[in-house]
Amino acid sequence: MTKRILSCMQPTNRLQLGNYLGALKNWVKLQDEAKDGVSNQCLYGAVDLHAITNGHDPAALANATRETAAAYIAAGVDPSRSYIFAQSHVPQHAQLNWLLSSMTQMGKLERMTQFKDKAGKNAERASLGLFAYPVLMAADILLYKATHVPVGEDQKQHLELTRDIASVFNEKYANGEEYFPLPEPYIMGTATRVMSLRDGTQKMSKSAESDMSRINLTDDADMIAKKFKKAKTDQGNVPASDAEGEGRPEAMNLIGIYAALSDTDMQVVMNEFGGQQFSALKTALSDLAVAKLSPITTRMNELMGDVAEIDAILKAGAEKAQELTQPTLDDVYRMMGFLRG
Ligand code: TRP
């Protein structure tokens, strides 16, 4: 059976190495993979409606949406085989969101740890949108009847909620039949958790304040070299085994990045660099990162240099997505008992 794979990123700030190694690289792999001649159907969204839930800059949103789509394409997502769309261009997302929000208990949303983290102490002032964010995410997924959703660890709880919402719908409005398939999280074999170059216990993040903590997909070769050179390490040498790397998150992060970029596992990298000084690993790592990332950067810059192409791709993607999703939305309205013309 064809797997229907859906994943999305928020167009906020710049995309960085963690987005590439932790997500995009695997999205492309899923697009290109076929089992017994059956390939996956892949849908990749830039979720701009999600990007406004915690304050945003209206002057930057449109371009951030384009940049996200440009990164997908530059990394190898092929718009003629996979769907690439901006969430706000497919109004069915917002419509299904409303229908689902009416069957989702607030108590379940209150348990979402990401809301607690993002809202912080000021939960009273957090927007309703931030609170309801996981319902919109459920709508993104269910609208396409996605069967598999590649997500990072931090999104697993939201995916659990999506499964829960799907079951509630199936139970209430589909007589217990599986109208919405319960989507499986797709945790990639070697999905790499790329950590900050400044603090190996924190995720590399587009929003962390220090730019030196991350490799942006728009950084040039000199910048990449500089950031790896300055990356935090410890007093020892490069560990040669997991045991030697125990409690040394910065060292293991560099090894993990090297392994992911060269499509191998960490022990192979430790066999090569174990016992050497970090400077040797860092130099090799910058060269590797530049070699792997520069074609992507170049393509992204080209696309962003003439946005007509990106805009046309997003328009075509939205049209295809609407064709795919409108029948589902019609079903849902009908099943819920709405008067339909
Ligand atoms: N919440 C996800 C994140 O911040 C983004 C997202 C929105 C998403 N809708 C989705 C991811 C649907 C997978 C599927 O990373």
Cβ proximity of 315 and 264 under 8 Å: no
Tell me the whole-structure pTM to 2 decimals.
0.93
- Residue among 206, 226, 292, 320 flagged as catalytic: 206
- The catalytic position among 118, 226, 232, 320 is 118
Distance, CA 8 to ligand 1 centroid (Å)?
Answer: 5
Q: Which pLDDT belongs to residue 190?
A: 52
> CATH says 2-186+306-335 is which class?
alpha beta
E-assigned strand segments in the chain: 4-9, 34-35, 38-39, 41-46, 83-86, 148-150, 184-186
Report the nearest-CA residue for atom 15 of ligand 1.
9
State the DSSP string of 221-257: HHHHHHHHHH----SS---SSHHHHTT-HHHHHHHHH
Distance 137 CA to ligand 1 centre (A): 6
The CATH class, in words, for 211-303 is mainly alpha
Ligand 1, from 24, 151, 187: best to mutate by most atoms within 8 Å of Cβ?
151
Locus of tokens 């396409």: 144
Nearest CA owner, ligand 1 atom 3: 9
Q: Give residue 209's pLDDT.
A: 74
Same fold, 2-186+306-335 and 211-303: no
Report pLDDT for 89.
98
Does residue 325 have its Cβ closer than 6 Å to ligand 1? no
- The yes-or-no answer on residue 203 being catalytic is yes
Among protein residues, the one with the nearest Cα to ligand 1's atom 7 is 137
What is the pLDDT at residue 189? Answer: 54
**Dist. CA 229 → ligand 1 center (Å):** 32
Helices 156-173 and 307-335, packing angle to 10 deg: 40
In terms of DSSP bridges, do strands 41-46 and 38-39 run parallel, antiparallel, or are they unpaired? unpaired
Q: Domain boundaries in the chain?
A: 2-186+306-335, 211-303
The three-state secondary structure class of 196 is: coil
Question: 70 and 9 in contact (C-beta within 8 Å)?
Answer: no
Nearest to 272 by CA among 242, 230, 239: 239
Cα 213 to its chain centre, rounded Å, is: 19
Specify the amino acid at residue 305: G
Ordered per-residue pLDDT tens for the chain, 341 residues:
899 999 999 998 678 998 999 899 999 999 999 888 899 999 999 999 999 999 999 999 999 999 999 999 999 999 999 999 999 999 999 999 999 999 999 999 999 999 998 888 888 999 999 999 999 999 999 999 999 999 988 899 999 999 999 999 999 999 999 999 999 998 765 557 889 999 999 988 877 778 999 999 989 999 999 999 999 999 999 999 999 999 999 999 999 999 999 999 999 999 999 999 999 999 999 999 999 999 999 999 999 998 999 999 999 999 999 999 999 999 999 999 999 87
Question: What does DSSP say about strands 34-35 and 4-9: parallel, antiparallel, or unpaired?
Answer: unpaired
Burial-class residue 271 by CB neighbours within 10 Å (0-12, 13-18, 19+): exposed
Instruction: Say how far apart CA 290 and CA 272 lie, in whole Å.
Output: 20
